Structure 1
Amino acid sequence: MNNRLLVVFSAIFLILIFSLTAVSVYFQNNIVDSQLSDISHNMEANIDNRMEAQLDKAEMLLITISENEEYQYLFAEREREKLYYKLYQINRQLKDRGVSQFQFHLPDSTSFLRLHMPDTYGDDLSSFRETVNRANSDLTTTSGLEEGRGGLGFRVVTPIFYENEHIGSVEVGQNFDQIFLNNLKKDFGGEYFIYIFEPEKTVSWLDSPNTEYLASTIEKDPLPISENELAKLKEMNTLHYQHHNELVILVPFTDYSDQPLGYVKAIIPITEINDYLTTSIISTLILSSIILLLSFVVALILSTTITKKFNIEKELKQSKNLKDGIFEVIQDAVCIIESDMTIKDVNKVMEEWYSSKLPLIGRKWHEIFQTYEEKSNECSGIKAFETKQMCSDIVPIRCVDANVEWIELLAYPIIDEDDKVTKVAIFLRDITQRKKIEEYDRSQTIIKEIHHRVKNNLQVIASLLNMQSRLFKHDKKVQNAFEDSQRRIISMSLAHEKLYSTENVASIEISDYVESLVSNISQMYNNIDKKIKTETVVTKNYLDMDKTIPIGLIINEIITNSYKHAFTGKDSGKIKISFVQVDDAYELVVQDDGIGIPDNLDYDNMKSLGLTVINLLVKQLNGKIEMDRSNGTTYTIVIPK
Structure 2
Amino acid sequence: IRERTQALHDEIIQRKNAEQEVQAALGYTRSVIEANPDLMVVLDRSGIILDVNAATETVTGISRNTLIGTPYRTYLVDDEGTNQAFEQLLVSGKTEHLIEVRGPGGNITPMSMNATVFAGKDPQDVRIIVAAHDITRQKRDEAALRAAFDEQVILLREVHHRVKNNLQIIISLTSLQMRQADDPGVKQILSETQNRVRAMSLVHEKLYRSQSLSRIDFADYTRFLATQLFSYYGMDTKRVRLEFAMGRVMVDIGTAVPLGLIMNELISNALKHAFPKGREGSLSIGCECIGDIITLSIRDTGVGMPEGFDWKNTSSLGMRLVTSLVDQVDGTITLDATNGTAFTITAKRPPETNDAGSMPLTGRG
Indicate the TM-score class for this superposition, using the shorter chain for normalisation.
0.5 to 0.7
Change (3 A) 1:275 1:573: same
Residue of structure 2 equivalent to 1:621: 329
Q: How does 1:93-132 map to 2 (within 5 A)?
A: none
What is residue 153 of structure 2 aligned with on the other side? 444
RMSD, aligned CA: 3.4
CA drift at 1:514 = 1.2
What does the per-residue CA deviation read over 1:109-156, in whole Å, with 9 as the maximum and x for residues that have no partner? xxxxxxxxxxxxxxxxxxxxxxxxxxxxxxxxxxxxxxxxxxxxxxxx
| Percent of residue pairs identical | 32
Q: Where does residue 471 of structure 1 map in the other structure?
A: 180
Q: 1:73-120: CA deviations, max 9, x gaps?
A: xxxxxxxxxxxxxxxxxxxxxxxxxxxxxxxxxxxxxxxxxxxxxxxx
In structure 2, how many angstroms separate the alpha carbons of the residues matched to 1:443 and 1:579?
Answer: 32
Corresponding position of 2:313: 605
Matches within 5 A, 1:28-39: none
Q: For residue 616 of structure 1, report the CA deviation from its aligned partner.
A: 0.8
CA 1:582–1:18: 2 relative to 1, 3 Å:
closer
**294, 308, 317: which one pairs with 1:586?**
294
Is the 2:215–2:253 Cα contact (8 Å) retained in structure 1? yes
Instruction: Kindly indicate whether the alpha-carbon contact (under 8 Å) linking 2:304 and 2:337 is maintained by their aligned counterparts in 1.
Output: yes
3-state DSSP of counterpart to 1:331:
strand
Count of paired positions: 246
1:596 paired with 2:327, answer no
Q: How much does 1:580 deviate?
A: 1.1
Question: Match for 1:505 among 213, 226, 232?
Answer: 213
State how far apart, in whole Å, the 2-side matches of 1:538 and 1:508 are.
14
Q: TM-score with structure 2 length normalisation?
A: 0.60
Contact 2:295–2:344, Cα closer than 8 Å, also in 1:
yes
- 2:65 is aligned to none
TM-score (norm 1): 0.35
Q: Which amino acid aligns with 1:616?
A: S
Q: Partner residue of 1:457? A: 166
Q: Determine if contact 1:448/1:500 at 8 Å carries over to the other structure.
A: yes
| Partner residue of 1:332 out of 134, 146, 164 | 134
Runs of at least 5 residues in structure 2 that lack an aligned partner in the other structure: 1-51, 63-76, 84-96, 104-129, 350-365
Aligned residue for 2:201, secondary structure, equals helix
Cα distance in 1 between the residues matched to 2:167 and 2:78: 47
1:545 and 1:529 mapped to 2: Cα distance? 31
Residue 582 of structure 1 deviates from its aligned partner by 3.7
Q: Which residue of 2 aligns with 1:568?
A: 276
Aligned partner letter, 2:173: L
Corresponding letter in the other structure for 1:447: L
Q: Does 1:21 align with 2:21?
A: no
Report the CA distance between 1:475 and its aligned residue: 0.9
Answering whether residue 222 of structure 2 is matched by residue 517 of structure 1, we say no
Question: Structure 1, unaligned stretches of length 5 or more?
Answer: 1-12, 24-272, 287-327, 334-406, 409-428
In 1, Cα distance between equivalents of 2:300 and 2:307: 16
Q: Find out whether 1:636 has 2:340 as its counterpart.
A: no
Separation in 2, partners of 1:277, 1:514: 47
Contact 2:249 2:287 in 1 (8 A): no
CA distance in 1, matches of 2:212, 2:61: 40
Separation (CA, whole Å) in 2 of partners of 1:590 and 1:529: 17
Distance 1:622 1:461 in 2: 29
Could you say if the C-alpha distance between residues 530 and 445 of structure 1 is closer, same or farther in structure 2, counting changes exceeding 3 Å?
same
Shift of 1:527: 4.0
Is 1:490 the equivalent of 2:198?
yes
Q: Does the residue aligned with 2:295 lie in a helix, a strand or coil? A: strand
Q: 1:529 to 1:431 in 2, by over 3 A?
A: closer
In structure 2, the partner of 1:95 is: none
Structure 2 vs 1, CA of residues 620 and 283 (structure 1 numbering), >3 Å: closer, same or farther?
closer
Q: Please report how far the alpha carbon of residue 329 of structure 1 lies from its aligned counterpart in structure 2 after TM superposition.
A: 4.9
**Structure 1 residue 447 displacement after superposition:** 0.9
